[in-house]
Structure 1
């Protein structure tokens, strides 16, 4: 649009323009007395940028007239687009007088570009040249967004390449009485206006007065404008004319406010002979605030009106021609995000009803983050999955965020879910198997005790120290059952019970085995002539030995529980994606002291059993104890590295397995051979066979 202004002068210093849109005219330091009724190009640039953003277009092309209007307007648009996060693939300028090669180059840029949306801030004459060039070799479908200078020009509607174009336009208005005035003009009134004279003579192909250089006939006064097929009679599309209308009324209101004063609350007194000063009219112009013909008129501190535009769309009619359709409004005075109101369906490029997509990169879904492509604008990026342990619950985010400690990302990494809690439970196969063996082992110990009790009077039971045997079977049953405390969700009581019960019952078990081993050795020595050693290791001493060794373990466990007992914890470090419920040792020294004491007794018992394994008596248990202690020691030696290296609930499973394996080793090696003789070889269960050298 030209910066030529319609200037209405009241004295020499007040100017009101209906047509000048240059943003530079808003500078009150340079133009203190300038007002206008048409919004400046700054508002238009902001409106176009928000329009592009409104439809989600972030990757656009930009072309402009190589003139003050195009260059200044596009500069303002690019600044506004940058604020809205819009990226520009290319920005080209051209002018109607440029050589065709320059116009072709701009057209080729549009054809080759990946941006679907093209924003054109250009004058109608320049756009006509470019669109003619594009029509020669059509480009892929492009969605045109236009400034009001060309997008509302009815002469441009012949270019089908721009079907679906959308842009902003100056508001239309039907000025009351204007059409009647135009169609009722007499030839004499027309002849008084050079503009109307030219129109009249062109429309009717006649001349209103004789001219030397014309061959037209003289108008005879019978010409009828009502019969004329011309846009002259169409006053429904008056945009710039409406700005003139508002400008005239603005000046009229300012003058009225200078010459008229309120005499009282109901009377207005006007002095038509008042000599007005330009400063008075200027002061009143700044205060102008009225509505005329359905439009509000006022000026801001820069002399600009409130920026309101129509949203216009190029739509094909049923006849196939392109029509300019108003589809909405833009009001810059409304809150951010509410400036646009669209009240009609919009036709897009090539008549499509779906909003076209114009982005450099597709939107990054939740669970991913944007990574900018090197050397390209911020709208061009790749989508990469969030790192392990992090999520992103927003689209097009540049960052991922870690989940809280007890949460873990979903498979899509878009939400944090509570980590599954893992522990060895009775509901899983491994827990069921271990619990079954525990209960089965306890039942085996009870059944063995029942067999021994039923045959307590037989030689083999008497020869193997029945009292210690029953105490050993009782302790073995407790060892089997104590493994059950390791299954299930850890609690304060279970963490303390499982380790102390295990430590005490095993010491009780090993103490009984140790007692039986000592009895074997002492019994052999007692058979030697003159040796009365068994009187120092009778039943009372055997009981005291078991109690003494067990009390030491009880003392160790008591100190452990008092000073730093085991307690349940949530292990968040072994596995990142789940929580392991387990028992912390509290004091590692206490735990290893309990194990170390058991190991010390087992080694002592093993050494004594080895020493007595070759004693000649058939009732000698030393061989059986040697094997049982060998199994016991092998199990617990291999337990240590397995315990340290096993993760999560398998640590507990390894501990239970060690308990069961060593306990089964004891009961099988020591008691199964005897039960076999008692139940299936009763003929050998006699004192004679026990005293024989060979069975």
Structure 2
């Protein structure tokens, strides 16, 4: 028989069972309005075994689930507590029908039973005024069963409140319009786990999931929540599903052994497990057999507070167990109620038992639960509050729908969709918490991170942190007792965190595995922007190796307090005073032969620019500005060129007077008649103006900065980035004039002593030429502030050479040898020169 044939036969048998409705539950309480309860008293994680055997599953053949029975008792307790109160539903008796769903094996049968009316479920076009057996359903506990049940109950809009199914798919109101939950969804559970890992700095984890919808959905959600958190999954494995009654097969044993081997080989020491509790028994036995220790085990809510697993006391030596669960809310009187035997004995059904069906029998439930009573009491009854509050939510909705007052309630028919509307609107306090549902039907119950303890004198699931779904914040409230020496927080990182100023270089495929590399000088690491690349500092900033920010480079320029500046200032002052004295002396002795032989009025054309040039020298000192740069590039070149031009023209004029006048008398006549010396000076200065203006148009006078090649922490601020080419072009004319002046002076070296200025002009022109060439050469190989110092020093020395070298001897003659400053003395010198030439 093929699988499809077996499935058809199974469905046929199921419909046959439905045709003869199941007996009233042994866990039955008659009442005016019945609540349906779906709980896992026995568990079989495979869930589909009956499809292969063509047999309705025998629930009591599976493992007894302590927590399921405990939750069922919570529903009984809540219903009886409400019935004993006269204020909530006066005159109304709540009843219940509770059925064992065997984890996922027996979902459809109970829900059809709840939906039936007088053991019959009619097919109708409109179920608006249909009244099912129960007014609401509490449960079941896992997402797979809840989605199956909710698909049926949605037909009637029969309210269903689950107490522990966290799948976010259940939030879809288009698929599950009648479903509500008295706990937070999977998003908040996973987010709490992620924040726990962030808090302790764990970024290298292992994820183990069960091979079912619960494991797959939660692992996918965890992967999504980890994106962008710098937390990596070293590997993820599917845990094999055990066979009936937890019998471990050879294939399962080999599979579990392979998983534990990977755990031992991995450097990750944090293991997150999304799985039902029954899947984990064989797994942890294998972990113990292979002696894998030192891990941090993070339990999902499905097994975080499971007393049976916790009773496996050997687990305490394999590491630290942490789990995510709902907040502990003690319910007064419930612990005593759980172990109290029913005084009247078990109620008996009026119908004969149908063998071979999954009914409400649980022969071992009471005794087993009683043996776990201590651990259940100490654990704080966490999930129990979800069932307790669900029953109270239905009761408050009935209170509103039946228009109850202090004395009684109206006796009316309750339709499911009416009750669902009222349940969605409930808002009341219950044991310190506000019971209300959001638009998706969830209740924002706080979560807790718990640690397993094996000291039975205290809570076996001690709370170490709390998580608020509304604020999405994790608050650590207690120090964890780690399994490490000195109680140090375990480390689970693929790579240690980089130090400040170190970038990450990925190693392998995981972003959590990397090498740390120092950021080079001139770069910095901005972790908020990119941890894998060092950013380059702006041009005006710099950084040291492994810096996280840039600092402003120190601006370097010639300052007044520096020794070279002081020396240049003294020389400038000396030159200025000497030039000023020379100007006064020449003004005082303007008609004397010495002044006239030096050039007469042309001397003042040289002395005045010299004074201006000395006055311009201070613009070389201090922070450059547009004004100071403009003075440096215009006024000073013009002043200095004027002096050089006058000296050159003066040298040419002396040669003309004594050598060319006799040979070229007509040319000499034109030279004198048309003021040849002044026109020459004017033309050369006009040419210099053109050069200066062209240089300004080409190179802006705005100050610019450049990096000191010898020290990148320093920015040299200067007037123009192309000052070298501009300086060379500007001084080119001066160099030509100096060469001409030297040539003319050398030609007239045999002239009369009083007129012979060749040795002074030659000295000046030679000094200027050599110093200028040396300065240009120096600037071509060096880029520091010393360039500015050398440029200023050479400039001042050239000015001094003119002031003292050219005008100095003449002032000396005027002041100390006045007898030589006579016309007779000059005539005698000329006669002696003429006689020697003849």
Q: TM-score range by the shorter chain?
A: 0.7 to 0.9
For 2:744 and 2:376, the matched residues in 1 are separated by 128
2:792 counterpart residue number? 656
1:77 counterpart residue number? 222
> Counterparts of 1:272-671 in structure 2 under 5 Å?
272=411, 274-299=412-437, 304-306=442-444, 308-315=446-453, 323-332=460-469, 334-335=470-471, 337-338=472-473, 340-350=474-484, 354-364=488-498, 367-373=501-507, 375-384=508-517, 391-394=524-527, 397-398=531-532, 406-409=540-543, 412-442=546-576, 479-514=613-648, 516-518=650-652, 520-522=654-656, 524-525=658-659, 545=677, 549=681, 553=685, 557=689, 568-572=701-705, 579-584=715-720, 595-615=731-751, 620-640=756-776, 647=783, 649=785, 652-666=788-802, 670=806
Pick one of 37, 44, 59 that aligns with 2:163.
Answer: 37
> Cα distance, 1:155 vs. partner?
1.2
Q: 1:237 to 1:443 in 2, by over 3 A?
A: same
Determine helix, strand or coil for the equivalent of 2:548.
coil
Determine helix, strand or coil for the equivalent of 1:270.
coil
For 2:375 and 2:269, the matched residues in 1 are separated by 38
Pick one of 127, 141, 161 that aligns with 2:317.
Answer: 161
For 1:527 and 1:75, the matched residues in 2 are separated by 108
Determine helix, strand or coil for the equivalent of 1:312.
strand
1:144 counterpart residue number? 297
Q: 1:121 to 1:500 in 2, by over 3 A?
A: closer
For 1:20 and 1:523, the matched residues in 2 are separated by 124
For 1:486 and 1:660, the matched residues in 2 are separated by 11
For 1:290 and 1:626, the matched residues in 2 are separated by 111
1:214 counterpart residue number? none
Is it true that 1:93 corresponds to 2:234 in the alignment? no
Is it true that 1:60 corresponds to 2:60 in the alignment? no
For 1:584 and 1:233, the matched residues in 2 are separated by 84
2:261 counterpart residue number? 108
What are the Cα deviations for residues 32-60 of structure 1, in whole angstroms up to 9, with x where unaligned? 25431224244346423432334413221
1:210 counterpart residue number? none
Question: Which stretch has the larger CA shift, 175-184 or 461-470?
Answer: 461-470
How large is the Cα RMSD of the aligned pairs? 5.3
Question: Which stretch has the larger CA shift, 143-152 or 274-283?
Answer: 274-283
Q: 1:501 to 1:195 in 2, by over 3 A?
A: same
2:277 counterpart residue number? 124
For 2:376 and 2:493, the matched residues in 1 are separated by 45
1:231 counterpart residue number? 374
> Cα distance, 1:108 vs. partner?
2.0
> Cα distance, 1:311 vs. partner?
1.9
What are the Cα deviations for residues 119-178 of structure 1, in whole angstroms up to 9, with x where unaligned? 112333443433333334544632221113333233145422355322112444433333
Q: Is the 8 A contact 1:60 1:115 kept in 2?
A: yes
Q: 1:549 to 1:104 in 2, by over 3 A?
A: same
Q: 1:381 to 1:31 in 2, by over 3 A?
A: farther
Q: 1:487 to 1:391 in 2, by over 3 A?
A: same
Q: Is the 8 A contact 2:288 2:318 kept in 1?
A: no
Q: Is the 8 A contact 2:190 2:221 kept in 1?
A: no
What are the Cα deviations for residues 6-41 of structure 1, in whole angstroms up to 9, with x where unaligned? 968754366634452226735865662543122424
Determine helix, strand or coil for the equivalent of 1:394.
coil
Length, aligned pairs only = 659
> Cα distance, 1:90 vs. partner?
1.0
Determine helix, strand or coil for the equivalent of 1:504.
helix
What are the Cα deviations for residues 264-320 of structure 1, in whole angstroms up to 9, with x where unaligned? xx6775344x4444454455455555444444445556665445433211347599x
> Cα distance, 1:551 vs. partner?
7.8
Is it true that 1:177 corresponds to 2:333 in the alignment? yes
Is it true that 1:16 corresponds to 2:137 in the alignment? yes
> Cα distance, 1:342 vs. partner?
3.3
For 1:149 and 1:505, the matched residues in 2 are separated by 94
For 1:59 and 1:236, the matched residues in 2 are separated by 30
Is it true that 1:270 corresponds to 2:409 in the alignment? yes
Q: Is the 8 A contact 2:268 2:493 kept in 1?
A: yes
For 1:10 and 1:247, the matched residues in 2 are separated by 17
For 2:779 and 2:611, the matched residues in 1 are separated by 24
Q: If the length of structure 2 is used for normalisation, what is the TM-score? A: 0.64
Question: Which stretch has the larger CA shift, 527-536 or 42-51?
Answer: 527-536
Structure 2 spans left out of the alignment, 5+ residues: 1-42, 46-102, 117-131, 169-184, 243-247, 350-359
Determine helix, strand or coil for the equivalent of 2:235.
strand
Q: 1:30 to 1:72 in 2, by over 3 A?
A: farther
Question: Which stretch has the larger CA shift, 233-242 or 509-518?
Answer: 233-242
Determine helix, strand or coil for the equivalent of 1:152.
coil
Determine helix, strand or coil for the equivalent of 1:569.
coil
Determine helix, strand or coil for the equivalent of 1:149.
coil
2:8 counterpart residue number? none
For 1:463 and 1:80, the matched residues in 2 are separated by 97
> Counterparts of 1:179-218 in structure 2 under 5 Å?
179-181=335-337, 185=341, 189=345, 198=364
Q: Is the 8 A contact 1:405 1:572 kept in 2?
A: no
> Cα distance, 1:88 vs. partner?
0.6
> Cα distance, 1:502 vs. partner?
2.1
Q: Is the 8 A contact 1:117 1:145 kept in 2?
A: yes
For 1:310 and 1:590, the matched residues in 2 are separated by 76
2:25 counterpart residue number? none
Q: Is the 8 A contact 2:649 2:680 kept in 1?
A: no
> Cα distance, 1:390 vs. partner?
5.3
For 1:68 and 1:406, the matched residues in 2 are separated by 59
Determine helix, strand or coil for the equivalent of 2:311.
helix
What are the Cα deviations for residues 464-498 of structure 1, in whole angstroms up to 9, with x where unaligned? 67887787666656545543332222334433333
Determine helix, strand or coil for the equivalent of 1:490.
coil
Determine helix, strand or coil for the equivalent of 1:62.
strand
Structure 1 spans left out of the alignment, 5+ residues: 204-224
What are the Cα deviations for residues 63-93 of structure 1, in whole angstroms up to 9, with x where unaligned? 1334554444434433433475532101122
Q: 1:512 to 1:584 in 2, by over 3 A?
A: same
Q: Is the 8 A contact 2:692 2:730 kept in 1?
A: no
Q: 1:632 to 1:230 in 2, by over 3 A?
A: closer
Q: 1:234 to 1:521 in 2, by over 3 A?
A: closer
